[in-house]
Structure 1
């Protein structure tokens, strides 16, 4: 299920995590060739993704919210 990105935060290992409108968190790593997300590496790149959508696996699993 597609969910809107409303913000970003760092996890305890300093990896970037997207905050989704549904209340779930999703890692957004840049690990070529598996995950090609160069936009996550700087502030402007992350800011350009606000309002865009990601597939939320947690919504599909009916998982509880990660944040309020």
Structure 2
């Protein structure tokens, strides 16, 4: 099964970056933020894979329309 990527490169890097920050908070202060570890790992996984299932449910377009494609309409 091939997964079609539905995130652009910038969004993927931001997900990996903020997911790593959320994940690393667990090592700094583990007790109250234990549940946040899963959220950080989920962001990292979706950023690495490039596929977000929520976007598929919301039917988000893969990329933003360019000005050239808007002029063709």
TM-score with structure 2 setting the length: 0.31
Q: Based on CA coordinates, which of the two structures has the bigger radius of gyration? A: 2
TM-score with structure 1 setting the length: 0.32
Q: Which has the higher contact order (CA 8 A, sep 6+)?
A: 2
Comparing both structures, which one devotes a greater share of its residues to strand?
Answer: 1
Comparing both structures, which one devotes a greater share of its residues to helix?
Answer: 2
